[in-house]
Each structure stands twice: as structure tokens, then as C-alpha cells.
Amino acid sequence: MTQYAEIIKKIKNADAILIGASNGLSITEGLHLFADDQAFQTVFGDLKSKYGLRNILDGYFYRWRTMEEKWGFLSRLIEHYSGSYTPTPVMENLRKIVGEKPYFVVTSNGEGHFEQAGFDADKVYEVEGNWIEMRCSNRCHEAIYPSMEAIHKMAEAEENGIVPSERIPRCPKCGAVMELYNAEPPKKEIINAWNDFLNEFHEKNIVILELGIGWRNQLIKAPLMNLTAREPHAAYITINLGEIYITDNIKEKSYGLDGYLDVILSELAAEYENSEK
């Protein structure tokens, strides 16, 4: 049996699939947070020279002098990468592989692509928050609101990196400016859902599918490898370009696939379809 056939067999026999994803997946989908590449030039060329921004992350954490400039940058960013998003083949292949199995996603990506690609928001734990939701910057209450409509309205009116003040989203209770949702403190519902998932599939056949997470990542990769070690029937599949790392204690339960995420997922999806025949 080929390695792919073996992996697909594991997936088909799984009771649940746990997906871990980090910025390798975002990059595959065209969102590169820390590259001064052609895409950054195309979308942010004017702001790059105006403010000296070197990449998206730079703009994300820039000390903007005004809210109008801050939201000018953010609304253009989010409208481009999430407002105009259509699910990529990478996401479609991933959904194909997951099929009808119970699943859970743990990701440090915050662009909301899992939800937009049809994964259930209640099963996507964004450990660093996301930009498709927002809340009161004054924290007068803890409710979290969808941000995309406000983003779209600002992006529409944005000129030279500045949005009109009246389009900046404000807290419905205290009137403070809203801020994008960061994960501190995490939402109770998602932590509960995550714990429920771990309890429900404890000692079951769980396939852990790790997508584009750097080998030293402590936030997601290390916990997933620990989980693999603890769970007697777990299988661990890690896909990354040039950075396959699997600890010795889980070697027998693991598969390391070194290569481009989009290529490997499409090959796995093809194998999955073949095995149906």
C-alpha cells in the first residue's frame, strides 16, 4: 500500500479528524503576512511608501496616529483577503478529505477562511482571534460581533488609506471604537467545544492533520504532538514544506509529508476519490 493509500485508510477509519493549521496554509491561499512581495505592493503600494510599511503584519501593529488611518489600512486588508474571498482548491480538497466525519479545527490563522469555506464556526478555535469579528475596545461588555459588514462599508469609502470617521464601527452600548477580536480571554463556548471534542474522542481513532505549521511552533504543533502521544489510537499527519518534524515518541503513529500544501492536499483528495471506486 502506498503512503497516501495508508493515510486515506486511516482517515476513512477515523472517528474524528482534528485539523491544526498555521500560516503555511494562509500563504498557500495567497495571504502572506510577512512578505514584501508583489501582492503587498499591489494592494498596499501607496501605504507602503506613505508609512514605510514592510509587510501586512507591520501595518497590523503599526502605531496609527488616527482611527481613520488605522481602519483605512485594516478595512482594505480585510476586504481584500476575506471580503473578496472564495474558497480555494486547498480548502475544497480539505473538506473533501474530512467528508462527513466529526472534526475540529485549531488554528492561529485569523482571516476566517475556514468559516468562509464552510467549516462550522463552532468547531473552529482561532487561538489568536480573528479579523472577521470585533468587540468594544473599552470592554464595557464581552459580546463579540461580526465585523465584515462594517469592514465592507469602510473599504468602500476608503481613500488614500483613510476612512470617513462616521463609518468607523462603534460599540452599541458605550460608543467606544470597536476593535478586532483578539483571543484574550478566549470565548468560553469555543473552549467548551474543544474540551468536549477531546473528551468525546478520547481513546477513539482520531486523525490529527497538521497543515503548514513551523517545526518549532509551541502554540499548536507541540500540543498536537503531545495529544498524539497520549491518545493510544491517534494518527498524526504533518504536511509542511521543508520543515517536517516529528518527535521520536510518536514516530510509529506519524506520517510526514514534505511539500507544497496545495499539491499534497489535491493528491490526497484524489486518492480519497480513487478509494471510493
Residue 176 binds Zn ion (CB under 5 A): yes
Residue 57 binds Zn ion (CB under 5 A): no
- Span interacting with Zn ion, options 6-14, 29-37, 172-180, 224-232, rule CB under 5 A: 172-180
The nearest distance, CB 185 to Zn ion, in angstroms, is 16
Nearer to Zn ion, 171 or 265 (CB): 171
Residue 171 binds Zn ion (CB under 5 A): yes
185: Cα within 13 Å, side-chain hemisphere: 8
- Span interacting with Zn ion, options 10-18, 43-51, 78-86, 171-179, rule CB under 5 A: 171-179
Site string for Zn ion, 129-148 (x = CB under 5 A): -------x-x-x--------
Using CB under 5 A as the binding criterion, the count of chain residues that bind Zn ion stands at 7
The nearest distance, CB 150 to Zn ion, in angstroms, is 15
Site string for Zn ion, 89-128 (x = CB under 5 A): ----------------------------------------
- Span interacting with Zn ion, options 9-17, 34-42, 106-114, 167-175, rule CB under 5 A: 167-175
For every residue of the chain, DSSP letters joined together read: --HHHHHHHHHHH-SEEEEEE-HHHHHHTT--TT--SHHHHHHHHHHHHHH---SHHHHHT---SSHHHHHHHHHHHHIIIIIT----HHHHHHHHHHTTS-EEEEES--S-HHHHTT--GGGEEETT--SSEEEETT-SS---EE-HHHHHHHHHH-BTTB--GGGS-B-TTT-PBEEE---SSPPHHHHHHHHHHHHHTTTS-EEEEEES--TT-TTTHHHHHHHHHH-TT-EEEEEESS-----GGGGGGEEEEES-HHHHHHHHHHHHHHHH-
Nearer to Zn ion, 5 or 174 (CB): 174
Nearer to Zn ion, 140 or 263 (CB): 140
The nearest distance, CB 180 to Zn ion, in angstroms, is 15
Q: Which of 5, 57, 174, 191 binds Zn ion (CB under 5 A)?
A: 174
Smallest Cα–Cα separation from 124: which of 134, 136, 113? Answer: 113
Nearer to Zn ion, 99 or 175 (CB): 175
Contact positions toward Zn ion, by CB under 5 A? 136, 138, 140, 171, 173-174, 176
